[in-house]
C-alpha cells in the first residue's frame, strides 16, 4: 500500500539588515515575486543578520545606522577607506574570529535549500560558515553603481547586479563572467505596473489637472534639503502644482500644512500610494537612493536628485545624469533652475522620461524569482542572455 506524500516545500533563507531601507525593500520584492511564481511550493524567511544574530555591539547597527548617516562626510570616508579588494579581505579576516559563532548559529538554526544575501556584510561570513557542503548561495546587489567590494565573494554561486557598471565592478573584484548577471534592482510589484493614464490618476488623487506636477519626496524620515527646496520652488513663480511627501516626519508635515502657498500644493505624510504618485507626476525631486531611482525609472519619471549618502550613492548621481534620466541639483536654487529649463523646453523633459523608460527593469524581481526557481530545480534553466 503506497502513501503519496505531498512534495516537501523548499525553503529560501534571505539575509538582510535594516541598515538603510533598500535591503529590506529588495528582500520583500524577491519574496513577493517568489510567491507569485511558485506559491506554496516555496517558503521564504528573512533574517536580520545584525539584530537577530550578531554579537554586541554589531547587533545595535540597525538602531545606530540612522544616526551614523547624519554625518555624511564621515560615513563617506569610512566607505572609501574600507573599499577595495585587499581592504575588504582584511576586514573579513580580522572580523571572522569575532563573528564565526554567530554566522554558524545563523545557518544551523535556519536550514534551507537556497540562501540569498541582499546585504554586503552578510555574504562573506555566511559563505565561510557554510564550509564546502552547502546549498546554492546567491548575492543580490542592492547598490546601483558605486558598489562596495564586500558585495563580491568568489565563492557565491551567482551574483545578480542592477546595472552594467555594477557588473564591471564584480569582474574587477575577481568574479567570473558566468557568475554575474545584470537583472536590475528588485522592487515590489506595485511599482512595476504599466504607466496608466495620468488624467484619471490625478482625478482619483484629487490633484490639479492641466499643469506640470512636481513630486518632492524626502524619504521615510523627510531627510535632505526638503523644506528649503519646497519653499524655493513655491516662490519661483513656476506654472506647476507641488506634491510634498514628508514621510514619517510629522513636525515637517504640520509646518508645511500651515504654510500659505502661492501655488497648488498637497502635503502628505507617509504614503502607501507612492507608485500611483509617481505615475501621476511629471517630475520627481528626491534623494539619490537606489530604490527610489529604480521606482522612478519604472514609472518613466524624470528626476532631480538633490542629496545623497556619500559612498554607495555617489555613482547613482553620475548614472542618472550620464544616462539622461535626470539632473543633479544639491541647492534649492539649482532645483528651481532645472525645473524652469524643463518647463521652457518640454522636449528635454520628454527626453529624460524616455531615458527613464529605457533604463527601467520592471521585471527584475520576477527575473530573480526565475533564477531562484532554476537553482531549486522548479523550472528548466533558460539560456543566459548576454
Per-chain mean pLDDT for the chain: 90
The answer to whether the beta carbons of residues 114 and 14 sit under 8 Å apart is no
User: How far apart are alpha carbons 246 and 217 in whole angstroms?
Assistant: 7
The answer to whether the beta carbons of residues 136 and 146 sit under 8 Å apart is no
pLDDT value at position 345? Answer: 97
Alpha helices in 192-313 (DSSP H): 198-205, 226-234, 250-257, 274-280, 290-298
Residue with cell 523608460: 357
Helix (H, G, I), strand (E, B) or coil at 327: strand
pLDDT band at 386 (very low <50, low <70, confident <90, very high): very low
pLDDT value at position 207? Answer: 97
pLDDT value at position 85? Answer: 84
Mean pLDDT, range 82-102, rounded to an integer: 85
| Predicted model pTM | 0.91
DSSP 8-state symbol, 266: E
Rounded to 10 degrees, the C-alpha dihedral 175/176/178/181 comes to 30
φ/ψ of 369, rounded to 5, equals -60, -40
User: How far apart are alpha carbons 79 and 147 in whole angstroms?
Assistant: 10
Report residue 133 as a C-alpha cell.
557542503
Neighbours of 172 (CB within 10 A): 11
Residue with cell 539588515: 17
Query: pLDDT for 133-148, tens place per residue?
Result: 789 999 999 999 989 9
pLDDT value at position 5? Answer: 59
pLDDT value at position 194? Answer: 82
pLDDT band at 73 (very low <50, low <70, confident <90, very high): confident
pLDDT value at position 219? Answer: 57
User: Is the model's pLDDT at 222 over the cut of 50?
Assistant: no
User: Is the model's pLDDT at 160 over the cut of 60?
Assistant: yes
User: Is the model's pLDDT at 2 over the cut of 60?
Assistant: no
How wide is the angle at C-alpha 108 spanned by C-alphas 61 and 97, nearest 5°?
A: 55
pLDDT value at position 22? Answer: 86
User: Is the model's pLDDT at 121 over the cut of 80?
Assistant: yes
DSSP 8-state symbol, 130: H
Helix (H, G, I), strand (E, B) or coil at 243: strand
CA distances for 123 relative to 76, 150, 225, angstroms: 21, 8, 34
φ/ψ of 366, rounded to 5, equals -65, -40
Mean pLDDT, range 15-23, rounded to an integer: 85
Q: What share of the chain in percent tops pLDDT 70? A: 95
pLDDT value at position 93? Answer: 86
Lowest mean pLDDT among 162-166, 218-222, 335-339: 218-222
Report residue 9 as a C-alpha cell.
516545500
User: How far apart are alpha carbons 22 and 142 in whole angstroms?
Assistant: 7
Amino acid at each position: 500500500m503506497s502513501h503519496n506524500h505531498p512534495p516537501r516545500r523548499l525553503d529560501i533563507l534571505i539575509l538582510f539588515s535594516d541598515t538603510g531601507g533598500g535591503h529590506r525593500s529588495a528582500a520583500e520584492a524577491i519574496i513577493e515575486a517568489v510567491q507569485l511564481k511558485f506559491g506554496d511550493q516555496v517558503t521564504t524567511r528573512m533574517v536580520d543578520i545584525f539584530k537577530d544574530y550578531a554579537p554586541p555591539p554589531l547587533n545595535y547597527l540597525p538602531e545606530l545606522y540612522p544616526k551614523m548617516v547624519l554625518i555624511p562626510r564621515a560615513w563617506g570616508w569610512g566607505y572609501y577607506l574600507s573599499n577595495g579588494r585587499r581592504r575588504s579581505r582584511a576586514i573579513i579576516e580580522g572580523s571572522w574570529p569575532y563573528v564565526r559563532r554567530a554566522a554558524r548559529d545563523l545557518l544551523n538554526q535556519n536550514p534551507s535549500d537556497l540562501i540569498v544575501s541582499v546585504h554586503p556584510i552578510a555574504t562573506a561570513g555566511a559563505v565561510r560558515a557554510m564550509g564546502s557542503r552547502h546549498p546554492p548561495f546567491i548575492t543580490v546587489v542592492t547598490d546601483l553603481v558605486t558598489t562596495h567590494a564586500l558585495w563580491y565573494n568568489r565563492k557565491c554561486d551567482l551574483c545578480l547586479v542592477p546595472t552594467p557598471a555594477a557588473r564591471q565592478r564584480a569582474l574587477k573584484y575577481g568574479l567570473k563572467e558566468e557568475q554575474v548577471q545584470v537583472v536590475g534592482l528588485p522592487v515590489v510589484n506595485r511599482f512595476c505596473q504599466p504607466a496608466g493614464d495620468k488624467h484619471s490618476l490625478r482625478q482619483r488623487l484629487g490633484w490639479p489637472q492641466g499643469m506640470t506636477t512636481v513630486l518632492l519626496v524626502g524619504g521615510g524620515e523627510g531627510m535632505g534639503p526638503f523644506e528649503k527646496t519646497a519653499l524655493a520652488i513655491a516662490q519661483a513663480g513656476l506654472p506647476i502644482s507641488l506634491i510634498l511627501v514628508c514621510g514619517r516626519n510629522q513636525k515637517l508635515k504640520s509646518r508645511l500644512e500651515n504654510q500659505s502657498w502661492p501655488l497648488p500644493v498637497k502635503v502628505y505624510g507617509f504614503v502607501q500610494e507612492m507608485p500611483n504618485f509617481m505615475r501621476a507626476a511629471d517630475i520627481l525631486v528626491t534623494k539619490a537612493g537606489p530604490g527610489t531611482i529604480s521606482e522612478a525609472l519604472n514609472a518613466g519619471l524624470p528626476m532631480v536628485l538633490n542629496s545623497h549618502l556619500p559612498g554607495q550613492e555617489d555613482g547613482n548621481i553620475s548614472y542618472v545624469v550620464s544616462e539622461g534620466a535626470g539632473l543633479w541639483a544639491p541647492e534649492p536654487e539649482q532645483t528651481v533652475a532645472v525645473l524652469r529649463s524643463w518647463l521652457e523646453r518640454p522636449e528635454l523633459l520628454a527626453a529624460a522620461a524616455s531615458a527613464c523608460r529605457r533604463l527601467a527593469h520592471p521585471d527584475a524581481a520576477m527575473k530573480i524569482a526565475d533564477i531562484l526557481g532554476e537553482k531549486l530545480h522548479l523550472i528548466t534553466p533558460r539560456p543566459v542572455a548576454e
